[in-house]
Structure 1
Amino acid sequence: MLSKPVIGNYYIGIMSGTSLDGIDVAIAQRTEHGFVQIAAAAPALDNNLRQQILTICQDKKVELQTLGEVDFQFACACAQAVNQLLEDNQFSAAQIEAIGSHGQTIFHSPGGAFPFTQQIGDANLIAAKTGVTCVADFRRMDMAYGGQGAPLVPAFHQALFAKAGENRVILNIGGIANITVLESDNQVSGYDTGPGNTLMDAWSEKINGQSYDKNGEFAYQGKVLPDLLKLLLSEQYFTQSPPKSTGREKFNLQWLTQQLAQLDSGSNSNADIQRTLLELSAVSISEQIQAHSNACPVFVCGGGALNPLLMRRLQALMPNHRISDTAALNIDPMFVEAIAFAWLAEQRLLGNTIPLKTVTGARRNALLGCVYRP
Structure 2
Amino acid sequence: MVAPLRFAIGLLTSVTGNTVEAAIIKTDGQDEIRSIGGAKVVCPETLHWGLLEAAQNDLPITEVLRLERELTQQFVRAVERLREQHPEEVAQAEVIGLDGYTLRRLPDEGISLQIGDPWVLAERTGLQVVTDFRRYDMAVGGQGAPLEAMYHWALMAREPRPALMLNLGPVTSLTWLSRANDIIAGDVGPGVELLDEWVQEVAEAAHDYDGSVSADGTVDAACVEYAMQNPFYSRSLPRTPTRSDFETIDVSGLEPSDGAATICAIIAESVVSAIGQLPEHPKLAWVTGAASRHPLILERLRSTFEQVRNVSERNLNPDTLQCECFAWLAVRYHRGLPVSTPETTGCRQAGCAAMSTGREIWS
TM-score by length of 2: 0.92
Deviations 1:287-322 (A, max 9, x none): 212432433321111101132222122212x1x331
Query: Distance in 2 between the 1:339 and 1:100 partners?
Result: 9
Deviation digits for residues 100-143 of structure 1 (CA, Å, limit 9, x no counterpart): 1111111111113xx11111111111111111111111111211
CA distance change for structure 1 residues 64 and 363 in 2, over 3 Å: closer, same or farther?
A: same
What is the rounded CA distance, in whole Å, between the counterparts of 1:159 and 1:291 in structure 2? 22
Q: 1:41 aligns with which of 31, 39, 42?
A: 39
Match of 2:256 among 267, 270, 282: 270
Alignment map for 1:119-268 (pairs within 5 Å): 119-163=114-158, 165-248=160-243, 250-251=245-246, 255=247, 259=250, 265=253, 268=254
Task: Read off the aligned partner of 2:265 and give its amino acid letter.
Answer: E
Decide whether the 8 Å contact of 2:236 with 2:277 is kept in 1. Answer: no
- Pick aligned residue for 1:66 from 48, 52, 63: 63
The letter of the residue matching 1:361 is: G
Displacement after TM superposition at 1:205 (Å): 1.2
Comparing 123-132 and 323-332, the one that deviates more = 323-332
Q: Work out which of the residue numbers 298, 303, 306 in structure 2 matches 1:321.
A: 306
Q: Cα deviation per residue 1:195-237 (whole Å; 9 max; x = unaligned)?
A: 0112221111111222312411211111111211111112221
Conserved 8 A contact 1:165-1:185: no
Letter in 2 for 1:277: I
Aligned length: 357
Contact map agreement 1:11 1:343 (CA 8 A) in 2: yes
Distance apart, 1:91 and its partner CA: 3.4
Separation in structure 1 between the aligned mates of residue 337 and residue 179 of structure 2, nearest angstrom: 24
List per-residue Cα deviations over 1:21-40 (Å, max 9, x = no partner): 42221111137982101121
Amino acid at match of 1:63: P
Identity %: 25
The farther-off stretch of 241-250 and 291-300 is 241-250
Residues 1:53 and 2:40 are matched in the alignment = no
Structure 1 segments (4+ residues) deviating >6 Å: none
2:291 to 280, 304, 319: 304
List alignment gaps of at least 5 residues for structure 2.
none
Q: Cα–Cα, structure 1 residues 305 and 88, in superposed 2: closer, same or farther, change >3 Å?
A: same
Conserved? CA contact 1:57–1:248, under 8 Å:
no
Letter in 1 for 2:326: F
Give the CA deviation at 1:244.
1.4
1:322-361: CA deviation from partner (whole Å, max 9, x where unpaired): 1111122331111111111111010111122235112211
8 Å contact kept, 2:261–2:296: no
* 2:351 matched residue in structure 1: 366
User: Displacement, 1:18?
Assistant: 2.3
- CA RMSD in angstroms, aligned pairs only: 2.2
- In 2 relative to 1, CA 230–165 (structure 1 residues): closer, same or farther, beyond 3 Å? closer
Alpha-carbon distance in 1 for matches of 2:284, 2:25: 25
Query: Match for 1:119: what amino acid?
Result: Q
Partner of 2:19, secondary structure, is coil
Q: Deviations over 1:240-283 (max 9, x none)?
A: 223311254644xxx368x357xxx4xx5332222111101111
- Picking from 299, 310, 330, the partner of 2:315 is 330
Matched position secondary structure for 2:211: helix
SS class of match (1:213): coil
CA distance, structure 2, for counterparts of residue 80 and residue 216 of structure 1: 30
2:324 corresponds to = 339
Aligned amino acid, residue 280 of structure 1: I
Who is 1:22 aligned against?
19
On the 8 A contact 1:127/1:134 being kept in 2, the answer is yes
TM-score scaled by length of structure 1? 0.89
List gaps (5 residues or longer) in structure 1: none
173 and 307 in structure 1: CA distance in 2 versus 1, 3 angstrom threshold: same
Which range moves more in the overlay, 29-38 or 239-248?
A: 29-38
> What's the secondary structure of 2:104's corresponding residue?
strand
CA distance in 2, matches of 1:93, 1:233: 45
* Secondary structure of residue in 1 paired with 2:100: strand
Q: Tell me how far apart the structure 2 counterparts of residues 360 and 21 of structure 1 sit (CA, whole Å).
A: 27
